Each structure stands twice: as structure tokens, then as C-alpha cells.
Structure 1
């Protein structure tokens, strides 16, 4: 322990702690270190103390804390609620934190005379019927576009009061109820069809659509009949998919704790809609209820059933919290049905690297221990312009996005991968000896020539304890700094490890290249608008990212950003005319 006096003070406080339920707080003068709750405060704090010898996190909590206090509660549930509120308020250093900024998107068929479809990230913020959530987020946007294309629900934000047929009607994305191009009865059937499409409950509505197609055919309204035929085809495809993937679980969120990560699998309408790994720091088994509460506090829909693959006492408190705070009864279970278990095995367990086996395979092939940290590098350019580089970090079995770095190449003009790679590696490694936990291996995207650039930089900087590999695309061959060539297709675990790092470096480099191009393109367009100078260009770019988003912004929004009304009007006029 760094501070013996503070450590003795903590032990003394633990000895005097009450044997009652409550919340305890480790802290120092600057910050809160850790907040927890217990049925018996004294016993729980003693467990913390006993774990110091074997648990690195516990060591850090005691090292960085100079004080300990507690709040006694009347019940374990009251302690559970208070712990959540205090963690949210003070954001302690070593508590679990859900880092994701927002909830998953859902689609809403609005509750209006002529409903439309909207995207919402908070259940209940828009009046209407909710569907989803959708993972990844782009799926929600794609589904919204599909609803407009197939079922022609109106695309306007609010229904125009005057007859005004917009361009989307002519593009086939809207049936134009505002211009009386469709009756209310026909439009309502389109709405019911869209809901059936999103929910998967399609059998009843299909009969109504067949009746309508017969009616249109008899009246020789063949264009309208073609639209309904497309709707029937889309709904029949849903039925065929259900016969293949239908599962005996109607609506549930499955939280799956595996390899110190928390995943969610979403089931709606007897279908698995998707899975995702929740972005959480410092997760342990005991933190899972807090992580679940954080997830639902962000506005995610609470289903009829919540399943967690680990059984612990706070599940009872979780159920009570949902009932009291969200006013909803749910079933909380720990039994995952076999169909979902198979999905989890294929898509979570089998996709996760088994570090023990990987370590053995790595040492067998390369002759040294698997590094705790590997840095991956790639270069991206567009015909010699916008030259950028990326550095991604694989650490202790997973990608550590907080440590990623990106580089704008400064000394190289035109297409010259080797020179660009040397510049980036030099800038990355010049402080190598000062780092607390430097990488033990570099992985460069490329062949033998790219590997050579890494070795040149390593020698120039006098770095000794660092290995350098390169990975060639298509053939998936690793070239090592001791002249080995390893064909990764012969080693599946190594293939997954190195291609994961390589592909992530490639993605990160391309995204930075694209971002710079979009920024430059947007600024060059804004050069044509009077009153838009360097500072206003930067404000518009940071807020809207693309020209399309600026074009959709209202004059009022632009003025709120600090753009003068006259300039906002000039900008809107220029973009509309363009």
C-alpha cells in the first residue's frame, strides 16, 4: 500500500462498520473511487479486504482511497436503488459504467389520422406503436426506407394542411394522402400491412390484401394492383422466414455474461432481431443488475421477459425496480431456451477467442509468448490525397478503442505507402520507451516491403524489446521479423486474431480518410455562400457533417447555432437551388 496511514484508517473503519444493510463509499479528497451495497455492510467490506491479495481491482480501490463512509438503509432493496443513484451521480472510477451514449433505435407507426413511420431511441417519446429495437442502428433506417417504398406511408414530418403533393409521391415513396391520391380506408390498410410486416404477424392481413388486389384488377387499376402485389410478396417472405427461424419465445431480452463481457440478444415476435456487446467498463458478475438498469434507463423498451444466464439475489431487486420505477410487471428468468442457446453458441461463444488455446497455438508457431498488447497499423489514401494512417490496439484478448490513434501524414505527397508507413511508425514509436505498457508486437498491413519499413524505424530509434510482423491480404500470410512465413489458413485461431486486428486498422484508417474528404468537400461547397467564413464552416461541419444534413436543417436551427438570419437564408437558398 502506498499510504500506510490511510490503509490503517480504512481497516479501522471496516472493523467498526455496522452489520446492517446499506451503501458504502470508498473515496479520497478528489474523487469517488468505488460505491457498493450490501445486506450486511461489515461482512461485505471484510470481503473487499480479503480480496486484496488476489484481485488487482481491489488493490487499486484501497491504494487510491483515503476514506470510507456508509449510508444505512431500511432494506436491501432501498440499498439497491440508492447504490444506482449514487453511481449515476458520482461516476466512481472503479464501478461498472455503460458507455453507450444512447439506446437502440426503434420504429414507430405514429398514432395519427394518417400515420407515418418514425425512428425513436426512447420508448414512449412518440405516440404510436413501437417495433424493434434494431441492431445495428442502420437497420432501422433501412427498414424505414423499405416501409415507405413498399407500403407508401407518408414521408413528411407533419401532414400538410393544404393539398400539396411532394416529390416523394412521384418517386413512389408516398401515397400522398395530403393530395387525396388515396382514400382513408386504403391508407389504413397500408398502415395495418406495415405493422404486420414489422411485427411478423402477417397471416390475417394477407387475406385483406388479396381481396384488394382482386378489386383493383376487376376495376382495371393495374398500377395499384402492382403495388399491392409487392406488399403481398414482402409479407409472404416474412412468413417463409418465420418457418425457418421461428422460436418458442415471443418477446424477451437475453443478457448473456461471457468472458467478462455482457451481451444482449433481442427477441421480438418469435424472432431473434439481433445481438450486441454492451459497451461497459469494469464489468463483474455482481454488476450485471446495475448494467441492466442503466440499459433500460436510457429509454430502451422493456419486454415481457428478461433472461440472465447467471443467477444471483439482486435479480429480485431488479424485478422490483422495474415494477416500481417503470410501472411494468416482467418475468425474470435464468433459463435460456435451446434455440437461443444455439444462436449464442454460434454468434457469441464461438466468435470469442479462447485465450488459453490461442496462447498455446501462438507459442507453438512463433516461439514466444502471446503478447498482452498488439498494435495494428494501416495507411489509407485516395489517389495520393488525404493520406492518413491508423493505429489500433488489441489488449488482453479484445480491441481497446480508447487507445486507438489516427495520423494525418504530413511529409508524404502522392501515393507512397512505404514512406507514409515510416512516418506514422516513427511518430508512434518515438515515445515507446516512455510508455508504461508499450506494445510487444506490431502488426503492419502489407507484405515484406511494409515489414521492412517497420524494421528501419525500430533500428533508427534503438528499440530492442519489440517484435514486428506484417500480414499480406488474400493469401493471409504473416511475415515475421525473423524471416518466417506463416500461412494463417492452417491456424484458425491465429487467422481470427490477426485478421481482426488488420481489418479493424483498415476500417479505422478508411473512416478517417472519408471524414477528411467529407469535411473538405463540405467546406468547398460552403465557400460559395456569402457570409460563411472559416469559423462558421467549422461549426456547420461539426454539427451536421454533410451537405444533405445542412439542407434539411431549418433556418431557426441555423440561427440557434449562431449563424445570422441573413446568412442562414442565403445558405438555404443556395443549397435548395443546387
Structure 2
């Protein structure tokens, strides 16, 4: 699709540099993209001929463009991501903003606290996360509070304040959740030892905390403090139970990000695993709606950049199931084929494929529920005895009485069953006679079903009023099928539904699902029939034109039309091309005919 003149001038002025480009329609930004070479990338939208329909629609709507030059491809990635979040353009995949993900914060104060938060403040505190959801954060928080007696108050525990006796212990001391550093019952060195172990746990390394509780348990047992030894054993058991629930991979695998993507026609699903010290410490799955039929690499590349940014990943290695090229100096990108890294990637793949299957199954179940509801509504509205799982709809087409054809579309479970659609060349009716045509086609269709022992539909719809309906009923009666197949007609003008033996139309709410399905079938059979009618008429017209040429003959006409499809294309053939197809003598006859036609038109 060629660019408009005003756009072409802008494109010609674009630099051969990395940057981002923004497309606008009359209302604002509709697409943001990145490029290593701005001019080449933007030009490709208007010069390539194989764009899909969605991209063609995007290009059609572009009224103007803007661009920003950046220093590197990495800067282009980040700027594109930020602009997509800010403007949410119509044709971009919208990536979820992770600013509300929760963190665990170890506060920067004497006797630090461990608190959950969604706001990061630059006050020297240490933040861990973000966590994909509140559930995983709460499980970790509850574990740590069960292991270590941390304070939860917000007192300013300076040495001066404690020595001055400004504080009084709270209920947390009485229930054993805190050792009351506010009244100097917990020394700072021991408390900081707890904090260091908590940092190890939050970093995914449980070895030092486990060793600590094991040593404490042994020492207490040797000192015959059996109740205290049991307390340490309980805490050690909690740590080991937590570790057992974590997915353990090879202990040598650490600081790795794993991304797997699986997509279908409409959506893409991505699973992210973060591996530290041999354990998966974070999992996150997202679903994205495709906007321009992007391939998996196009979708995954910006998502890797964003998710690493949102989850503050410092991993130096990224594993994916599709090859990516990302502007990340010093970071290894790989698609592993064997070994423990391949097993890790397969775990991510298993999760993402499960997520896709679940979503597709949910959509399918939702469709099934909708279809049953529609059929039950139709059964009630049309007073049918059975659920109309199999419905057939008929329509006729002709052009001033010539080339009469008919068509039937079949819906099963309220969905089109295209393999059951049928075309009919009318055989016994001369001229434009919709009534007799309907009789012929209904007779042919259901005589064949009976002869072949096939099941009959639970509903037949004819496109037309009382006249067409009465002839369809007559056909069923002549086949001894009357009473076995319910039948109705839909009149075009007022969308009225007629039933046999009732002069008045059946009233159905204009917004009802019954009427909408009948209209959908009527429109589909009309489309199907008109397409067939035009093809029949065009084939007959073309064939008649060539067979009228004296000295050519029907076999030669059919041969040319079957290969070149139209008289126009045959006209455009050179003399040598025609000779190669039909020989010198017939070529001379055909060219003389074409010359006479040209002179007549002039």
C-alpha cells in the first residue's frame, strides 16, 4: 500500500538511525514501534505487499507520523515500552504495568522491621521482590515471622531512648513473637543475625538458616534443654517444608531468567521463572491479546525487557524457547537443547502450554454454554419438541430468471457446519419462480437424506414468506415427512417468522437470540447462494462468448478458460503463447475474433 504524498515526504526525511516511531490517526496515537533503522522500518509498512489484514488496516489509518532518535537499540526498547504504557495505542500489544506488585522491605533503622509494601522509597531500606502476587508474599512473610522474633512496632529504638526507658513492651512479647528490644531484652548483634538470615531466605538461599537452627537444636539437646531443642526443631521443620514446596533445580543453576511463550490465533501466553541458588523463587504467567498477528519473537522480546525491569532482575543469563536478539550487553541469551537448562525451559513450557490449554478450554466451555442456551431459547420461542441441534436454511438466486440456483447452509449446535453446506443447480424450473424452485430443492435434499439413511434436521428455515413456506411444506408432505421436520419461513421486509397453517406471523422479540440466529443463517445462506450464482453466471457468460467464435469449439474454449480463468487474460496472451496452447490455425481464428471485437467497441 503506497504512502500518501504527505507521509511519503516524511518517510523520505527519516534518518538511518535507531529510534522509535509513532503513527497517528485523526484522534491520536494508534501505534508505537522501535527500529534499528528508522527509515527502513517505517518504509517497509508502505512497500511490502504481504501484510496481513490487521496491518493493512493500521497502514490505511495512518494520517501522520513522529519519530525520536535514540543512542542505541536498548534505549529504543525502553522508550517504546514506556510510550506504550503511557498512551496504550490501539494496535499495540498492551503490556501490564507492574508498578503495583508487592515487595518485602527490610527497613533501614536500628532493629530493622520486615514489612510488606507496594511503594519503594529511597531511604536506604532493602526491598525484595517484587512478588507476582500477594499470596506468595504472605506465605514467605508468615514463614519468617514464625522463625524469627522480629518487632512490628514503629518505635525509634535508639540507644538513648531505650536507656531512658521511654518504651513499654506490648502484647507481642507475651505471646512470644518479639523479644522486646525496646526494653533491651534483645541485643542488637543477635537481632542483626536474624536479619542476615532473613536476607538469605529472601535471596533463595536456605543453607545458612537451616545450619543455624540445626546447631541451636543440637546445643539445646546437649544442654538437656529439651523444650528449647523442640522449638528449634519445629523451626527447622518449617524451613524444610517450605523448601520442599519450592521447585528445586540443579544447585549450580543460579541467577537465571527463563521465559517460555505459546500462542494461538488471538492471544499469546508467557511464563516467567526466576531461578536463584538452585530454586525457582518467582513464577509469573501473563496473557496478551494480539493486535497485528505478531509472531512469538516480536511479542516476547519487549516482554522480556519489561518483566526483567518490573521484577528487578539482575540475572546474567536468559533462557527462552524462541531465539531472540536483545540489546543487553553482557547478558547471555540461549535456547538450550539438552541438559539441566533444557529441563528448566521445559518446565516453563509445560506451564505456559497448560495456561493456553486452560484458557482455550474455558472459552470452549463458555461457547458450549452459550450454544445450549441459544438452542433452548429457540426451542421455546418456536414451540419445538426437540432441541434444534441440526438446522438447515434454504435460499434461491437468479438473474432476471436466468441461471437459477439454490443454496443450503447447515448449523450444528448453533455453529456453522460448512462441510454440510450444499449448492443446487435448478433442474425442473424455467424462469424466475421462487415457489417451484423451493419445492424442487427441498424435495431433492430430503429425498436424498432419506435414501441414504442420514439423520433429519430438527428445524428447517426457508428464506421467504408464506408462498415459499407453503411450497416447502408441500414438498415435505409429498415425501411423507410432514410432521417429522419442523419448518418456518422468514420474510425479508419486516423480519417476520411464519409457521405452517397460521396466516399471522409469529411474534419474536427483535432482540432475542432466536431471531438473531435465524437472521445469521439467512444472511449466511444468502452470501453462499449469491457467490455460487455469480460464479455460475460468469462461467456461463464466458463459455458462451468463446464457444460462439466460429472455428474454435467448446473443447478449446473450456481448455483456455480452465487454465486462464477469464477472457481478459486470454486477450492479453501473445501470439506465441496462444500457439503453444491451441495451435496456429485456432490462434488465427481467435485473434481475428478479438480484433473484430476491438473495432466494434471503438
TM-score where L is the length of structure 1 = 0.52
Question: Is structure 2 residue 266 aligned with structure 1 residue 262?
Answer: no
- Aligned partner of 2:349 in structure 1 is 345
Query: Superposition pairs for residues 303-314 of structure 1, below 5 Å?
Result: 303-313=315-325
Q: Identify the range of structure 1 (150-159 vs 27-36) with the bigger mean alpha-carbon deviation.
A: 150-159
Counterpart Cα distance in 1 of 2:280 and 2:89: 35
Residue 307 of structure 2 is matched in structure 1 by: 295
Structure 1 position 242, deviation (Å)? 7.2
Q: Deviations over 1:67-119 (max 9, x none)?
A: 13444556555545554454455443322332245254343444543233222
Alpha-carbon separation, structure 2, partners of 1:217 and 1:247: 31
Query: What is aligned with 1:275?
Result: 283
Per-residue deviation at 1:348?
Answer: 1.5
2:42 to 38, 42, 45: 45
- Superposition TM-score, scaled by structure 2 size: 0.51
Whether the 8 Å contact between 2:19 and 2:38 is mirrored in structure 1 is yes
Aligned to 2:175: 171
Residue matched to 1:414: none
Partner of residue 96, structure 1: 93
Asked whether the 8 Å contact 2:85–2:97 carries over to 1, the reply is no
Question: For residue 431 of structure 1, what is the aligned residue in structure 2?
Answer: none
Q: SS state of the match for residue 209, structure 1?
A: helix
Q: State the match for 1:489 in structure 2.
A: none
Q: Distance in 2 between matches of 1:123 and 1:46?
A: 42
1:105 aligned residue (102, 123, 127): 102
CA distance in 2, matches of 1:462, 1:18: 57
- For 1:156, the equivalent position in structure 2 comes to 153
Q: What RMSD in Å do the two structures reach over aligned CA positions? A: 4.5
Task: Give the direction of change, closer, same or farther, for the CA distance of 1:248–1:346 in structure 2 (3 Å limit).
Answer: farther
**Contact 2:31/2:91, CA 8 A, preserved across alignment:** yes
Q: CA separation of 1:183/1:256 partners in 2, compared to 1, >3 Å: closer, same or farther?
A: same
- The alpha-carbon deviation at position 245 of structure 1 amounts to 4.7
**Cα 1:194/1:26, change in 2 over 3 Å:** closer
Residue 227 of structure 1 corresponds to 231
Equivalent pair of 2:324/2:333 in contact (CA under 8 Å): no
SS in 1 for 2:257: strand
- Structure 2 contact 107–125 (Cα < 8 Å) conserved: yes
For the residue of structure 2 that corresponds to 1:350, the secondary structure is helix
Compare 161-170 and 83-92 and name the one that shifted more: 83-92
**Per-residue deviation, residues 301-358 of structure 1 (Å, max 9, x unmatched):** 4334333433343x1x2x15xxxxxxxx644444481221231233221342399999
- Secondary structure, in 3 states, of the residue corresponding to 1:352? helix
Q: Residue in 2 aligned with 1:253?
A: 257
Cα distance, 1:355–1:55 mapped onto 2, change above 3 Å: farther
In the other structure, the counterpart of 1:451 is none
User: SS of the counterpart of 1:134?
Assistant: coil
Classify 1:33/1:203 alpha carbon distance in 2 versus 1 (closer, same or farther; 3 Å). Answer: closer
1:144 shift after superposition: 1.0
Alignment of 1:332-371 (within 5 A): 332-335=333-336, 337-353=341-357
> What is the CA–CA distance in structure 1 between the aligned matches of 2:34 and 2:65, rounded to whole Å?
13
Instruction: Give 2:206's match in structure 1, choosing from 202, 208, 211.
Output: 202
Output one character per residue of 1:201-237: Cα deviation in whole Å (capped at 9) or x when no partner: 3344444434434554566655544432222222344
Among 65, 70, 73, the alignment partner of 1:68 is: 65
Cα pair distance change 1:103/1:214, threshold 3 Å: same
1:463 aligns with 2:518: no
1:115-514 counterparts in 2 under 5 A? 115-121=112-118, 125=122, 127-128=124-125, 130-159=127-156, 161=161, 162-216=166-220, 224-237=228-241, 245-246=249-250, 248-259=252-263, 260-278=268-286, 280=288, 282=290, 284=294, 285-298=297-310, 300-313=312-325, 315=326, 317=327, 319-320=328-329, 330-335=331-336, 337-353=341-357, 461-464=511-514
Aligned counterpart for 2:31 among listed residues 20, 29, 34:
34
Cα distance change, pair 280–166 in 1 and its aligned pair in 2 (3 A): farther
Aligned counterparts of 1:146 and 1:281: Cα–Cα separation in 2? 37
CA spacing shift, 1:251–1:257, aligned 2, 3 Å? same
* Preserved CA contact (<8 Å) 1:97 1:282: no
CA positional deviation for 1:167: 1.8
Determine the C-alpha separation between the residues in 2 that align with 1:211 and 1:122.
37
| Further displaced range: 297-306 or 29-38 | 297-306
Report the CA distance shift for 1:20/1:460 in structure 2 as closer, same or farther (over 3 A). closer
Q: Is the 8 A contact 1:264 1:276 kept in 2?
A: yes
TM-aligned CA distance change 1:69 to 1:34, over 3 Å: same
* Cα pair 2:320 2:345 within 8 Å, conserved: no
**2:514 aligns to what SS in structure 1?**
coil
Contact kept in structure 2, 1:100 and 1:278, CA below 8 Å: no
Gaps of 5+ in 1: 321-328, 378-439, 442-457, 468-578
| Partner secondary structure for residue 99 of structure 2 | coil
Contact preservation (8 Å) 1:97, 1:291: no
Change in Cα spacing, 1:136 to 1:226, as seen in structure 2 (3 Å) is same
User: Separation in 2 of the partners of 1:132 and 1:107?
Assistant: 7
For the structure 1 residues 179 and 83, does the alpha-carbon distance in structure 2 shift closer, same or farther, using more than 3 Å as the test? same
Output the CA distance in 2 between the equivalents of 1:144 and 1:215: 27
Task: Quote the residue 2:470 is aligned against.
Answer: none
Mapped to 2, the partners of 1:224 and 1:198 lie a distance apart of 26
Partners of 1:149 and 1:172 within 8 A in 2: no
* Structure 2: segments with no counterpart, 5+ residues: 374-413, 416-507, 518-602
Decide whether aligned partners of structure 1 residues 282 and 302 sit closer, same or farther in structure 2, where only a CA change above 3 A counts: farther
**2:563 match:** none
